[in-house]
Amino acid sequence: MTQLSEQEIIRREKLQELQKLGIDPYPAAEYPVNDTSVNIKENYSEATKEQFQDVCLAGRIMSVRDMGKAAFVELQDKAGRIQLYVRRDDICPGEDKTAYDVVFKKLMDIGDIIGVKGYAFITKTGATSIHAREVSILSKSLRPLPIVKSVEGQVFDEVTDPEFKYRQRYVDLVINPEVKDVFVKRTRILQTIRDFYNNLGYLEVETPILQPIPGGATARPFVTHHNALDMPLYLRIANELYLKRLIVGGFEGVYEFAKDFRNEGMDRTHNPEFTVMEMYAAYKDYEWMMRTTETLLEKVAVALHGTTEVQVGDKTIDFKAPFRRVPMYDAIKEHTGFDITGMDEAQLREVCKQLGIHVDAKFGKAKLIDEIFGEKCEGHYVQPTFITDYPVEMSPLTKKHRSKAGLVERFELIVNGKEIANAYSELNDPIDQRERFEEQVQLMERGDDEAMYIDYDFLRALEYGMPPTSGIGIGIDRLTMLMTNQPSIQDVLFFPQMKQEK
């Protein structure tokens, strides 16, 4: 059984006292909020005072300054904070002063959610405030908030523990309301992307999260069991193959904001549940996709910041199009001194050994090249850069390059040393696709638990004919980290995955 603190016991006793007085601490009726703290503070003046003679706000008590028969209360609503002036004779005009002397002064606490009706005015110190005519309790808080104090520019009792912030995000949002701005900007990012593709005439769609085959990427899946069908199902690792089925079906442009799931490690840029926007356009290739993507991200930066320049830590990243383009083999040669063009698996292992990169015995060519690039190259690309023309072994769903043997038409967008987007000229040759899937099965048999499964239904769809298509996946969480200057993926997720609480 949970052990209550002294403060929690006192608050429960206050709850009982409210109920004895016939006051419902959790009333069900609608409360007629008609304004916000920010609107009042920004728009109240002597010229507009008539508009603010009957305001109704609701929010949390964040501080109380008791002055005997009156008090100043700081109220926090959805928009910000505003001062309330609560005077005993105003909220208790008759002989009975219980509503002030008992309910307000003794039974209300910091953290309680209240409603207030009154009028706006400016105090002698110049603070736009609300003179309360009526104060109502709307929800009694049974746990005390961690109170952050600021005195002469110094902050005291600030909650910075990530364990607390991520696990109790609801409290973090109350005591650090600036955190809300990150999530407001995240929504604006989504809306900008949505508007961009809608203006191109593309359709937003939804595809299955529970899938019989975890296809569309190389990753370890989460597995579950469907009792009625008596069959295993997987949480999707990507929505790619379903979106390409829609291209087969005749849609010429589709996109989806997808929750994907990968049963892998967690760090500052990885969460097992994450958001990806995938888009597929018929009759396009990866060159078109590069031009379209840099235009999109330029628009996102301007929508959030009014400029293409975004501050990320101590770096200024410029999303002004066009972005730099660097073939993968050129990147590896530049940063390692090795030209790995045409190397077989044994030669690549030797390169890894000379570079001091530890690799698993079960890794094939694709994983070896990926390790070399990830360890020695990726971190060098701070400004937006398209890494292009990947080896065919690394890209089982990608069309072979039209002029460079052994490569495919693929790019990854690297920003601030991390992959933000991955895109292809999509493989639409069903025979080639079947062979690539079979190569993945061989890797699985070698012990690669991230190798791709064969999706026979997708192969059947390709056999009906898929037009030339380009597709992209953009990591929304990482993009939000960049655009809001947040160092960890946990800072852009309301409720990141956590270890089980002790």
Q: pLDDT tens digit string along 339-372?
A: 999 999 999 999 999 999 999 988 889 889 999 9
> What's the token pair of residue 190?
């989504």
d(CA 171, CA 263): 29
HSE-CB at 447 with a 13 A cutoff on CA atoms is 4
Beta bridge partners of 330: none
Please tell me whether residue 374 adopts helix, strand or coil conformation: helix
> What's the token pair of residue 453?
């499964």
Mean pLDDT across the stretch 197-222?
94
Residue 224 identity = T
Exposed, middle or buried, 302 (CB in 10 Å: 0-12/13-18/19+)?
A: middle
Report the mean per-residue pLDDT for the chain.
94
How many residues are there in the chain?
A: 502
HSE-CB at 332 with a 13 A cutoff on CA atoms is 24
Which stretches of 262-386 are DSSP H helices? 286-305, 328-336, 345-355, 365-376
Exposed, middle or buried, 357 (CB in 10 Å: 0-12/13-18/19+)?
A: middle
d(CA 323, CA 338): 25
Mean pLDDT across the stretch 421-433?
96
495 closest CA partner among 251, 263, 274, 208: 274
pLDDT at 216: 86
Name all domains of the chain by residue range, CATH numbers in brackets: 6-145 (2.40.50.140), 180-323+383-492 (3.30.930.10)
Mean pLDDT across the stretch 393-420?
94
User: Other CB atoms closer than 10 Å to residue 116's CB: what's the count?
Assistant: 24
Q: Is residue 107 over pLDDT 80?
A: yes
Q: Which residue has the higher pLDDT, 310 or 449?
A: 310
356 conformational bin, left if phi > 0, alpha if psi -120 to 50, beta if neither: left
Q: Is residue 296 over pLDDT 70?
A: yes
Mean pLDDT across the stretch 248-276?
95
Share of the chain above pLDDT 70, in %: 97
Residue 170's φ and ψ, nearest 5 degrees, are: -60, -35
pLDDT at 218: 80
Q: Is the full-model pTM beyond 0.75?
A: yes
* 419 assigned to a ligand binding site: yes
Answer whether 493's CB lies under 8 Å from 485's CB: no
pLDDT in tens, 157-181: 556 788 889 999 999 999 998 999 9
pLDDT at 151: 60
By DSSP bridging, strand 128-139 and strand 81-87 are parallel
- Residue 253 is inside which H or E element, if any? strand 253-261
Answer whether 110's CB lies under 8 Å from 144's CB: yes
Can you list the positions of beta strands (E) in 209-251? Answer: 210-211, 223-226, 231-235
Beta bridge partners of 351: none
d(CA 481, CA 475): 10
pLDDT at 106: 97
d(CA 297, CA 425): 20
* 287 assigned to a ligand binding site: no
